[in-house]
Amino acid sequence: MSAPYAAPDDFRTAVLDAGLLVASAVDGVYQLSGEFEDVLQGLQRHLGSQRVDHDAPRRWFPPVLPRAEFLRTDYVASFPDLVGSVDVFRGSDAEHKALLGDLEQGCDWTQHLEPAEIVLSSAGCHSLYATLPAQIPDEASRAEICGFVFRHESGPDPTRLQSFRMYEFVLVGTPEQALGHRDSWMPRALAVLEGLGLRPRVEVAHDPFFGRAGRMLVAGQVEAALKYEFVVDITDATGTAIASANYQQDHFGRTFSLTTGDGQPAHGACMAFGLERTTLALYAAHGLDLAAWPADVRAALGC
Ligand code: 5GP
Ligand code: ZN
């Protein structure tokens, strides 16, 4: 069966023509229409309604996190090309003058800036770990989280955004609790996406979580099946991952010094949904006219 669109360019033209996205001068940076955001908010509420851990705290994160915490995630070792750092100006009046002079001359004014104490967030759950208790309770720590993340993606494919939101269900605890969390979420995630008329296939992901060294261990990761992606066909060109189910083993437990009752580094798992991508997948599956979507899908999304 062929995908709704032949190529990413066709999908991009269609969503721009329909006014769902408004392009900026930079690939991967779009404004969203009010209707698109309404659908996305409905999706967010619908995903939240699938929660099984009713006591898990729900947290909405800002798009930035402390630089020191970010470094603990090791993301910069795995995906340096996707990272976004924030620069700020802390100079004197004289330095400000020099900055304006460079700007006027068309020179590099950013040389007058310096790295801030924050960076742009690369994954929703990264903001969580430093706020968890160092001693993870026997029943595990769970959280339902949402936040904007940044990835320095490029290209005209509208499903490759530089700034997008992730909605995640996270657990930190023993290896059994973490794996149980991930593995119980996979059929639930499949069911909720299918209930919205999407037909994702579940694939073992090939990108390593951690470190350049990890990249060489890709085969090991596939073997261990640490990360599964829920992939839909929006275009004939390539599948689009709209959600992922991740088992990070003890990586964040080690780097954030989180331990379980037995004194071992805690293990972590998260079920992550990309809100913009899933919303785009819904438009691709049901058409760009929201009024013509199946009634049950619109009811589930409340729009
Ligand atoms: P992961 O952490 O597994 O790479 O990403 C989690 C989810 O975020 C993905 O399944 C996808 O839905 C979303 N995502 C990842 N990269 C992008 C991107 O470049 N653009 C958009 N819109 N969503 C993305
Ligand atoms: Zn996560």
What pLDDT sits at residue 213? Answer: 46
d(CA 171, CA 56): 9
What pLDDT sits at residue 252? Answer: 97
User: Does residue 67 sit in helix, strand or coil?
Assistant: helix
Judged by its nearest atom, the ligand closest to the C-alpha of residue 279 is 1
Tokens of 14: 């269609």
CA 122 to ligand 1 center in whole angstroms: 10
Which CATH class, in words, describes the domain spanning 8-84+122-301? Answer: alpha beta
What pLDDT sits at residue 220? Answer: 56
Q: Are 248 and 226 in contact (CB under 8 A)?
A: yes
What pLDDT sits at residue 104? Answer: 97
Ligand 1 shell residues, CB under 6 Å:
123, 151, 153, 159-161, 164, 166, 241-244, 272, 274, 276-277
Q: For 132, phi and psi rounded to 5 degrees?
A: -85, 155
If one counts every other C-beta atom within 10 angstroms of the C-beta of residue 175, the result is: 18
Backbone CA torsion sign across 155, 218, 119, 150? positive
Q: Where in the chain are the domains?
A: 8-84+122-301, 85-119
Q: Which amino acid residue places its CA nearest to atom 10 of ligand 1?
A: 243
Judged by its nearest atom, the ligand closest to the C-alpha of residue 61 is 2
Pick the atom of ligand 1 nearest to 246's CA: 3
d(CA 138, CA 195): 34
Name residue, tokens 């470094």.
Answer: 71
On whether the pTM is more than 0.75, the answer is: yes
Which of 277, 279, 280, 283 maximizes ligand 1 atoms within 8 Å of its Cβ, making it the mutation to test the pocket? 277
Give the residues of the chain that fall short of pLDDT 50. 211-213, 216
What pLDDT sits at residue 112? Answer: 98
Q: Which residues of 54-84 are buried (b: 16+ CB within 10 A; e: fewer)?
A: eebeeeebebbbeeebbebbbbeebbeebbb
CA 245 to ligand 2 center in whole angstroms: 8
What pLDDT sits at residue 207? Answer: 63
What pLDDT sits at residue 206? Answer: 74
Q: Are 17 and 23 in contact (CB under 8 A)?
A: no
Pick the atom of ligand 1 nearest to 161's CA: 20
Task: State pLDDT tens for residues 198-254.
Answer: 999 999 997 656 544 455 455 555 557 899 999 999 999 999 999 999 999 999 999
Judged by its nearest atom, the ligand closest to the C-alpha of residue 82 is 1
Nearest alpha carbon to residue 145 among 171, 163, 119? 171
